[in-house]
Amino acid sequence: MAVLDIKGISKHFGAGVLAVDNLELTVGDGELVCLLGPSGSGKSTLLRMVGGFETPSGGSITIDGEEVIHLPPERRPTGMVFQSHALWTHMNVYKNIAFGLKLRRRPADEIKRRVDAVMELVGLAGYGERQTHQLSGGQQQRVALARSLVLEPKILLLDEPFASLDQHLRERLREEVRDIQQRLGITTLFVTHGQDEALSMADRIVVLRDGKVEQVAAPDVLYREPATPFVAGFIGTMNLIEGTVSNGTFSRAGFSSPLPVGDGPVTFAVRPEALVIAPAAGAGAAKIHRVTDYGTHAIVDLELPDGLRLKSMVPEARHWTTGQAVDLAPRAFSAYRDNALIYRSNAAR
Ligand SMILES: Nc1ncnc2c1ncn2[C@@H]1O[C@H](COP(=O)(O)OP(=O)(O)OP(=O)(O)O)[C@@H](O)[C@H]1O
Ligand SMILES: [Mg+2]
Burial class (CB in 10 A: 0-12, 13-18, 19+), 95: middle
Write out residues with Cβ below 6 Å of ligand 1: 13, 17, 19, 37, 39-45, 83, 193
For ligand 1, what atom is nearest to the CA of residue 54?
1
For ligand 1, what atom is nearest to the CA of residue 41?
21
10 alpha carbon – ligand 1 mean position (Å): 13
Instruction: Summarize pLDDT for 331-341 with one digit per residue, the tens.
Output: 999 999 999 99
Asked if residues 115 and 97 have their Cβ atoms less than 8 Å apart, the reply is yes
- Give the ligand whose atoms come closest to the C-alpha of residue 193: 1
User: Over the range 183-214, which residues count as b (16 or more CB within 10 Å of their CB) and which as e?
Assistant: eeebbbbbbbbbbebbbebbebbbbbbebebb
Helices (H), 214-337: 219-224, 229-234
pLDDT for residue 74 is more than 90: no
Indicate whether this model's pTM tops 0.75.
yes
Question: Which long-range contacts (C-beta less than 8 Å, at least 24 apart) are formed by 215-223?
Answer: 216/25, 223/199
Residue nearest to atom 12 of ligand 1 (CA): 19
- Give the ligand whose atoms come closest to the C-alpha of residue 17: 1
40 alpha carbon – ligand 2 mean position (Å): 7
pLDDT for residue 218 is more than 70: yes
Residue nearest to atom 28 of ligand 1 (CA): 40
Residue nearest to atom 4 of ligand 1 (CA): 13
Least confident piece of the model among 139-143, 170-174, 285-289: 170-174
pLDDT of residue 241: 97
pLDDT of residue 348: 56
Domains of the chain (ranges plus CATH)? Answer: 4-230 (3.40.50.300), 238-348 (2.40.50.140)
Instruction: Summarize pLDDT for 233-246 with one digit per residue, the tens.
Output: 888 899 999 999 99
User: Which whole number is the average pLDDT over 178-183?
Assistant: 90
Instruction: Summarize pLDDT for 11-50 with one digit per residue, the tens.
Output: 999 888 999 999 999 999 999 999 999 999 999 999 999 9
Q: What is the mean pLDDT of the chain?
A: 92
pLDDT for residue 274 is more than 80: yes
- Give the ligand whose atoms come closest to the C-alpha of residue 37: 1
Residue 83, SS3? coil
